[in-house]
Amino acid sequence: MFKIAIVSAAGGVGRSTLTASLATLLAQRKIAVLALDFDPQNLLSTLLGSDEISLGGLLPDFLTKKEFGKSALINSNEVACLPFGRANEASLATFEQHLRTESEWLKKYIAQIDYPPGAFLIMDTPRLPSLYARQAMVAADLVLAVLAPDTRSLALVPAVEAALARCAPGRQPIYVMNGLDSTRALQSDLLAQFRSALQMRLSPYPIHRDEAVPRAVANYANLQSLSPDSLVAHDLNGLLNWLLAGPASSLDGRAQV
């Protein structure tokens, strides 16, 4: 199983939406995929078509010692999603203390998943610095860092790299810009600055801002099915093709579901 952690040092850059979109595209290509919501906000399942926030999931399973992955939901696009689940503050505090004690807890937990060779796991996380994001970076084969087309994201690049260096020394993240409005000269200039600073570590496929995204979220719909000819759908397919051909090419990603 090839494991991807979706992270960022800034909030509101679209980590969860990107996680859901990549998982859906993989499933549409008949590639086995599990989307893991490792964020206490517990919203990923709603982006994959659920009309209500799941009560069950990773945290309740941990508290009840249930086998990892058994609470996964499977949507109409054959995307399996393991929600974070809902719990009270005391339960969350207990879980977080366990994560502090066991720095590789998620990595060990994921090893219990019985998925075929060539499957993918995509992990959604809270923004850095985050206990959850650190656990995901330790477990991941690839860290995909999401950037917004603004000076804040540019300034926070060192924070992303420092966090990964602490979790996995010697590894570097791959970056993707999300929400680009190419009609705005400032954003185009910033994209050029990102490309100069990050070189080959920046995906050549920025994800453009597109009204198809909030429309899909509002309708609990799959973006690719709702707006298959949209610019953002083209961008996401380009990004996935690039990942499969390069950063994620160390594992054959064509296992059948």
- pTM value is 0.92
What long-range pairs does 162-165 form, CB within 8 A, spacing at least 24? 163/7, 163/9, 163/128, 163/129, 163/133, 163/134, 163/137, 164/137
248: Cβ contacts below 8 Å, ≥ 6 apart? 2, 4, 120, 141, 142
Successive 10-residue mean pLDDT values, the chain, 257 residues: 95 94 93 95 89 83 84 85 92 95 94 86 96 96 96 94 92 94 93 94 94 74 73 93 87 39
Cβ atoms of 222 and 21 closer than 8 Å: no
With CA atoms as reference, report the closest residue to 57 among 47, 38, 35, 72.
72
Kindly state the DSSP code that residue 202 receives in the 8-state scheme. Answer: B
Q: What pLDDT is attached to residue 66?
A: 85
CA distance 133 to 178: 19
pLDDT at residue number 114? 81
Residue 59, burial from CB neighbour count under 10 angstroms (0-12, 13-18, 19+) = buried
Helix (H) or strand (E) holding 145: strand 142-147
Strands 2-7 and 80-82: unpaired
Backbone angles phi and psi of 13, in degrees to 5: -100, -5
Q: Which segments of 29-72 does DSSP mark as H helices, in order?
A: 44-47, 58-64
Cα Rg for the chain, rounded, in angstroms? 17
- The pLDDT value recorded for residue 253 is 40
Domains of the chain, each with CATH number or no CATH: 2-245 (3.40.50.300)
